[in-house]
Structure 1
Amino acid sequence: MTKIIELKNATVQVNNGLDDAKTILDDVTLTIYEHDFLTILGGNGAGKSTLFNVIAGTLPLTEGSITVMGEDVTFMTAQKRAKYISRVFQDPKMGTAPRMTVAENLLIAKYRGEKRRLISRRIQDHKEEFQRMIAKIGNGLENHLETPAGLLSGGQRQALSLLMATIKRPELLLLDEHTAALDPKTSAALMNLTEKFIKDDHLTALMITHRMEDALKYGNRLLVMKDGCIIQDLAADKKSEMTISDYYGLFE
């Protein structure tokens, strides 16, 4: 199996202001293989977001290493890692440019990770393609190609963020509690859309969730984190045997 991401002894320490370093990611070794869909559970301060930030390149390692597709990216900036990795955030406002239209946001995403040059991108040439894309979403977004993203509903904006994150097929899709700010019905619709994107495009994905039901239903691997460590890494067969009660038991 192809290794997409490999962390070896990944450690992050931060100074708490009292001349005492606190470890927020503790000697984590993890391999993510092609077509894995991992869900991550853990309480506040467990290290979930730290793990995401380390992979994305927005937080440097204190010790250890990280490779993407066999390339050592330990000291590579987040901007350069963007050619491999895309991310959907918890806050619907973070993944899109609010004053730009849906079409303009998609055009930015289409060139993610590429060198930017001061030439016209001729957005008119892409509008038919973008209209076909948003027609697949099914939440009314198809009527808003020329609407500024800031005027969309939260569910529409997250769906746009997901589309932007996958328009150029990433090696790894990071889903950072991307349904947490939505109501239950909208959240369920977005999770169904997420699963469809992952399956149809054969993506590799890593998803943080606090919803036990989503951790049970989605993905082929489950990571449980506590105190900056991965304390469980359950494969599909073990995961399928578990109930919600079993999941709660993992934290005891």
Structure 2
Amino acid sequence: MKKIVELKNATVQVNNGFDEMKTILDDVNLDIYEHDFLTILGGNGAGKSTLFNVIAGTLMLTSGSIFIMGEDVTHLPAEKRAKYLARVFQDPKMGTAPRMTVAENLLIAKYRGDKRSFSPRKIHAFTEEFTSLISKTGNGLEKHLETPTGFLSGGQRQALSLLMATLKRPELLLLDEHTAALDPKTSVSLMNLTDEFVTGDKLTALMITHHMEDALKYGNRLIVMKDGKIVKDLNSTEKEQMQLSDYYQFFE
């Protein structure tokens, strides 16, 4: 199986302000394979966001190495890793440009990573394609193609962020608690949409969640983190045998 991401002895230490070094990622070894959909559970300070940040390149390793698609990216900054990755953040405002319309945001996503030229945008040539795309969200977004995204609801903005992140089929999709800021009903519909995109398009994805139910329901692998370490890495068969109560024991 093709490895998409490989972390070897990945460690991050930071100064806690009292001239003491604190380890926030502790000698982590992790292989992520093509079409893996990993869900990540862990309490506050477990190292979940640190793991995402070192993969994305927004935080550098103190020691260890990281490979994406076989390339050693350990010392590459985030912008050099962007060709491999797409990320949906917890805050719905993070993934879209508020003053640009839904169509303009989608156009940016469509040409992400391509060489820029000074040709006209020809945005109307994509109206049919974009309308068809956003009608998949099932939340009325197709009526707002010409609406600035700043006027959309949080759920609509997250659905648009997800569409933008998956439009170019990234090698790795990072879902950073992307349903946490939404109400329960909207969160459920966005998770259904996420699963449809990830499994339907055979994407490779990593999802941090605080919802135990989502960790049980979605993905083919589950990682549990504690104190900067991976303490469990369960495959789909092992996951199916777990009860909700088993998960709670990880955090006691």
TM-score by length of 2: 0.97
Pairwise mapping of residues 119-134 of structure 1 onto structure 2 (< 5 A)?
A: 119-134=119-134
Preserved contact between residue 83 and residue 114 of structure 1 (Cα < 8 Å): no
Match of 2:141 in 1: 141
Give, in whole Å, the separation in 2 of the partners of 1:201 and 1:180: 24
Give, in whole Å, the separation in 2 of the partners of 1:139 and 1:64: 43
Provide Cα deviations, 1:112-166, integer angstroms capped at 9, x if missing partner. Answer: 2334444433222222211111111111001000001110011110000000000
Judge which range, 145-154 or 14-23, deviates more. 14-23
Kindly provide the amino acid, as one letter, of the partner of residue 97 in structure 1: A
Q: What secondary structure sits across from 1:128 in the alignment?
A: helix
Judge which range, 78-87 or 142-151, deviates more. 78-87
Give, in whole Å, the separation in 2 of the partners of 1:231 and 1:220: 17
Runs of 4+ in 1 over 4 A off after TM superposition: none
Deviation at 1:19, TM superposition (A): 1.6
Kindly provide the amino acid, as one letter, of the partner of residue 246 in structure 2: D
Give, in whole Å, the separation in 2 of the partners of 1:171 and 1:24: 26
Q: For structure 2, list consecutive stretches of 5 or more residues without a partner in the other structure.
A: none
Give, in whole Å, the separation in 2 of the partners of 1:4 and 1:154: 31
Kindly provide the amino acid, as one letter, of the partner of residue 163 in structure 2: L
Pairwise mapping of residues 99-248 of structure 1 onto structure 2 (< 5 A)?
A: 99-248=99-248
Give, in whole Å, the separation in 1 of the partners of 2:31 and 2:116: 32
Preserved contact between residue 12 and residue 24 of structure 1 (Cα < 8 Å): yes
TM-score by length of 1: 0.97
Give, in whole Å, the separation in 1 of the partners of 2:137 and 2:242: 31
Give, in whole Å, the separation in 2 of the partners of 1:124 and 1:55: 36
Count of aligned pairs: 252
Deviation at 1:75, TM superposition (A): 1.4
Deviation at 1:46, TM superposition (A): 0.4
Kindly provide the amino acid, as one letter, of the partner of residue 234 in structure 1: L
Kindly provide the amino acid, as one letter, of the partner of residue 210 in structure 1: H
Kindly provide the amino acid, as one letter, of the partner of residue 235 in structure 1: N
Q: What secondary structure sits across from 2:94 in the alignment?
A: coil
